[in-house]
Amino acid sequence: MGFARACSVALVGVEGVVVEVQADLEPGVAAFTLVGLPDKSLVESRDRVRAAVVNSGAEWPQKKLTVGLSPASVPKSGSGFDLAVACAVLGAAERIDPAAIADVVMIGELGLDGRVRPVRGVLPAVLAAAEAGYRQVVVPEQTAGEAALVPGVSVLGVRSLRQLIAVLGDEPVPEEPVADRGRPDSMLAGLMMPGAGVGTGLAPFAARGGDSHRPDLSEVAGQHRPRKALEVAAAGGHHLLLSGPPGAGKTMLAERLSAILPPLTRQESLEVTAVHSVAGILPPGEPLVTRAPYCAPHHSATMQSLVGGGNGLPRPGAVSLAHRGVLFLDEAPEFSGRALDALRQPLESGHVVVARAAGVVRLPARFLMVLAANPCPCGRHTLSGAGCECPPSMIRRYQSRLSGPLLDRVDLRVEVEPVNRADLMGRGGRGETTAEVAARVRVARERAAERLAGTPWTTNSEVPGHELRTRLLVAPGALFAAERDMERGVLTARGLDRVLRVAWTVADLRAADRPDASDIAVALELRTGIQRGVPMEAGAP
């Protein structure tokens, strides 16, 4: 009787569970049994592993073979267990030393010819292995850079099972042919989810042409008030609603928001990269996402595609793909009511919990939401002489698609007016560039982070209302206008807290120690849309 074990990782959402792959050989009729709650693609690994072992020059044991995946209660899916299964079988057959693979985590799919193919989710899998105390990881060569992002883990990238057998047995490592560089590498197909390429708006700008084609704020004509709101949203992480007629520039503004956000920290980059790796939208050659992501789902998106779902264990939705970045919902009233209301919980908590029959998954979802909406179905309701023929009942029904509880979670609500001829032709002067605005945003974020040092919060939008009312106090008498609006029913209790958060962001942008009456007035105007007579140009103190 022979026995050996290796380790791999099962992904549940964007978190990993270390799985022990055990192989047992006993005398009897040659058979291969795989147990431990595998899915269809994992059951098929029996044939893949057998062919890969034989084509790698090793002998397949002609005995009764049982491979167990422990813990058996955790659902296991995907082809990333192939490498661990093959090594456990070879260890049980004494082709390799069982002690050499007992504490090694192996992740990778095997081709019939023995080549090791990359799989999605390598970074969260290696993170889970490191947290469980494992220090040696074997991954496909193409994903070695992604696995190396985890500190304290020794990563071995292999191109074939033949190479891994030689390394484990202290034998000369054979050379493997390199793919033709004149054509795309077919081995990378396992890393990308079909339909998640450069045409979906999910791939980073670098994959769509690099920095030379990044949208710039200077291309936006006029729109001083919306530009100011964009800067405040980026500096404090506040949600934003842009309403106005078609062609006013709402989409242009939203597309430029992610570029003025500060670069991601190391921890934030690992979180975003882990989600994108599992979702299959991590570009090959870019193992670490360092810029804030931008996700713009179509208005026909279902609730499951927004918050996460799918067959079996839930997969990340748009709110998770936009984690630490921007989620832009263009034509927001055209989204289904169920889909929009499902955003209310992640907007408050920063994560989404999806419960399905196969299990419960907690996915990260701390994003900056931007809504864009027209005033009516035809979009001409606010334009004088434009000929809007929408009846009042249709306009009310259209505007009510954005529910009150959802809008109450939006800090900034700005009317985007049509661009006049002087601004469009450049006579009003060129607006500030993305770099200039991003510099102010970065300084404001640093001020907020310094003030919130020692707390679990890093941006003003995360600070609870109790802290704002008891510890982070504004200037004396500054809240008079906000308290009056609350008594009149213009503001709710949550709305007052959000006005305070925006006021702190405005104060950070002008390098003030704490908000005064003018900062509160700016915050009230950005939330209610009621003119307060304060300067709103970008960069104004």
Same domain, 244 and 130: no
pLDDT at position 260, please? 94
Same domain, 257 and 338: yes
pLDDT at position 427, please? 57
Over range 338-351, report the average pLDDT. Answer: 91
d(CA 482, CA 461): 18
Same domain, 363 and 503: no
DSSP lists the bridge partners of residue 157 as 139
Same domain, 253 and 344: yes
When the pLDDT of each residue in the chain is averaged and rounded to a whole number, the result is 87
Helix (H, G, I), strand (E, B) or coil at 412: strand
- Asked if 351 contacts 365 with a C-beta cutoff of 8 angstroms, the reply is yes
Which H or E element spans position 328? strand 326-329
> What are 17-30's pLDDT values in tens digits?
999 999 999 999 99
- Asked if 284 contacts 142 with a C-beta cutoff of 8 angstroms, the reply is yes
pLDDT at position 207, please? 43
Number of domains into which the chain is organized: 3
Residue count of the chain, please give it: 541
Helix (H, G, I), strand (E, B) or coil at 340: helix
Least trusted range by pLDDT, from 48-52, 77-81, 283-287, 372-376: 283-287
Which of 180-184, 234-238, 344-348, 408-412 is the most confident on average? 234-238
Residue 517, number of CB atoms within 10 A of its CB: 19
Helix (H, G, I), strand (E, B) or coil at 415: strand
pLDDT at position 417, please? 86
Over range 170-193, report the average pLDDT. Answer: 72
d(CA 541, CA 64): 78
**97 falls within a domain:** yes
pLDDT class of 324 with cuts at 50, 70, 90 = very high
- Asked if 203 contacts 470 with a C-beta cutoff of 8 angstroms, the reply is no
pLDDT at position 234, please? 96
Q: Over 80: is that where the pLDDT of 537 sits?
A: no
Three-class SS string for 342-391? CCHHHHHHCEEEEEECCEEEEEECCCEEEEEECCCCCCCCCCCCCCCCCC
pLDDT at position 203, please? 46
Quick one: 427 exposed, middle or buried, by C-beta within 10 A (0-12, 13-18, 19+)?
A: exposed
Distances (CA, A) of 130 to 152, 261, 286, 466: 8, 30, 22, 37
> What are 117-163's pLDDT values in tens digits?
999 999 999 999 999 999 999 999 999 999 999 999 999 999 999 99
d(CA 134, CA 18): 9
Helix (H, G, I), strand (E, B) or coil at 407: helix
Same domain, 86 and 53: yes
pLDDT class of 379 with cuts at 50, 70, 90 = confident
Distances (CA, A) of 443 to 231, 255, 437, 521, 523: 12, 22, 10, 22, 19
Range of the domain at 311: 239-410
- Of the residues 155, 176, 197, the one at which a domain ends: 176
Element counts in the chain: helices (H) and strands (E)? 23, 16
Give the global pTM.
Answer: 0.89
The percent of residues above 70 in pLDDT, for the chain, comes to 89
Same domain, 255 and 352: yes
pLDDT class of 495 with cuts at 50, 70, 90 = confident
Q: Over 80: is that where the pLDDT of 527 sits?
A: yes
Between 45 and 189, the more confident residue is: 45
pLDDT at position 529, please? 76
Between 281 and 313, the more confident residue is: 281
Q: Over 60: is that where the pLDDT of 509 sits?
A: yes
pLDDT at position 309, please? 82
What CATH number did the domain enclosing 9 receive?
Answer: 3.30.230.10
- Of the residues 157, 176, 195, the one at which a domain ends: 176
Three-class SS string for 428-491? CCCCCCHHHHHHHHHHHHHHHHHHCCCCCCCCHHHCCHHHHHHCCCCCCCCCHHHHHHHHCCCC
Same domain, 388 and 460: no
Distances (CA, A) of 155 to 69, 106, 139, 358, 381: 23, 10, 7, 32, 60
d(CA 28, CA 25): 9
**231 falls within a domain:** no
pLDDT class of 488 with cuts at 50, 70, 90 = confident
Look-up of token digits 């601004």? 423
**160 falls within a domain:** yes
Least trusted range by pLDDT, from 20-29, 279-288, 343-352, 521-530: 279-288
- Asked if 217 contacts 256 with a C-beta cutoff of 8 angstroms, the reply is yes
**212 falls within a domain:** no
Same domain, 21 and 120: yes
The percent of residues above 90 in pLDDT, for the chain, comes to 58
Same domain, 297 and 384: yes
Q: Where are the strands (E) in 88-131, listed by range? A: 105-106, 109-110, 116-117
- Of the residues 410, 443, 474, the one at which a domain ends: 410
**336 falls within a domain:** yes
pLDDT at position 239, please? 95
pLDDT at position 372, please? 95
Least trusted range by pLDDT, from 58-72, 201-215, 321-335: 201-215
**426 falls within a domain:** no
Same domain, 81 and 138: yes
**397 falls within a domain:** yes
**398 falls within a domain:** yes
Same domain, 454 and 384: no
Least trusted range by pLDDT, from 134-148, 384-398, 522-536: 522-536
Same domain, 323 and 264: yes
> What are 447-467's pLDDT values in tens digits?
999 999 989 999 999 999 888
d(CA 285, CA 29): 46
> What are 92-101's pLDDT values in tens digits?
999 999 999 9
pLDDT class of 198 with cuts at 50, 70, 90 = very low
pLDDT at position 364, please? 94
